[in-house]
Amino acid sequence: MRTIQLGSSGLQVPVVGVGCMRIQTLSPAEAERFVQAALELGANFFDHADIYGGGACEEMFAEAVHMSPSVRETLLLQSKVGIRAGMYDFSKEHILSAVEGCLTRLKTEYLDVLLLHRPDALVEPEEVAEAFNILESTGKVRLFGVSNHKPMQIALLKKFVRQPLHVNQLQLSIAHAALISNGLHVNTSEDAALDRDGSVLDYCRLHDITIQPWSPFQHGFFGGVFVNNPDFPELNACLNQLAEKYKVSSTTIALAWLLRHPARMQPIVGTMNPARLKECAQASEITLSRQEWYSIYRAAGNTLP
């Protein structure tokens, strides 16, 4: 699979990451087959979080991949911390203890990437900096980033944290494209011009932060997938037409739409189906034309000023 550089780190990662939030829905045998299929595709970047399955997803992944030092060398592991029952917690104590839990469950001595999961309104960036320094100096985390953060929240962290923030994981898809739409509707009074995210797309490009789109096939906040959804007839007609042209699936085209954006994103796909994961991987081989990209954008109901 084609690779990209993660942030400014120099680390080359597959252009499609494998999200493991649903791995707990598989049987142990199914999980093993899925992980092996991903590795055979070159999709060796696995995204986790300590809250996925209450930690069970990390445990199941470690079992499925038969974690050992030699296996670990072939993997790129990312996990996220900071969400607790009914609250968010970026305290030094919680970050450190949460990472220890991730390492134990994943049966590894280090994470390649650690993300702060969702913004904590009570964040004290000095504590985050202390936690990051400990995790880096002890070799438990190699690279750092955030998830669902706005530019000013990232800037606040960067004032105190000396490690570069290489990743921002954000919800983005054809049918959930406000990050893109507000940049197209500049200086208009249309609803699409509303900037709810502080121009985070442009900010990340300016600061060499890799955007990892999550739920790249969803509409709304876990509203369901739009591919082959009868509620999106025009979009699916467009996807199917291009799928026929490129001799791939509509899933492949939908992901290729994200990869065509010059921000050099790394979508995190959540499928647990090896065949569908293969369709996702094929998106790395397709470069949509500018006309095709905009036709998909408009077919999803997105407008141009």
Question: CA separation (Å) from 116 to 119, 142, 149?
Answer: 7, 14, 9
Question: CA separation (Å) from 288 to 66, 174, 261, 295?
Answer: 38, 14, 10, 10
Residue type, 109: E
Nearest CA among 120, 126, 127 for reference residue 86: 120
Count Cα neighbours of 100 within 13 Å in the Cβ-side half-sphere. 9
Name the β-bridge partners of 77: 46
Q: What is the pLDDT of residue 220?
A: 82
Q: Which two tokens stand for residue 1?
A: 């699979």
In CATH terms, the superfamily for domain 3-228 is NADP-dependent oxidoreductase domain (3.20.20.100)
Residues labelled catalytic? 52
Handedness of CA 229, 230, 233, 237 (dihedral sign): positive
CA 207/CA 187 separation, integer angstroms:
24
CA 296/CA 232 separation, integer angstroms:
12
Q: What is the pLDDT of residue 211?
A: 98
Look at the block and give the residue holding tokens 């904590």: 120
DSSP letter string, 108-136: -S-EEEEEE-S--TT--HHHHHHHHHHHH
CA 7/CA 45 separation, integer angstroms:
15
Low-confidence stretches of the chain (pLDDT < 50) are none
Q: What is the pLDDT of residue 223?
A: 82
End-to-end CA distance of the chain: 36
Q: What is the pLDDT of residue 221?
A: 81
Q: Which two tokens stand for residue 226?
A: 């739009």
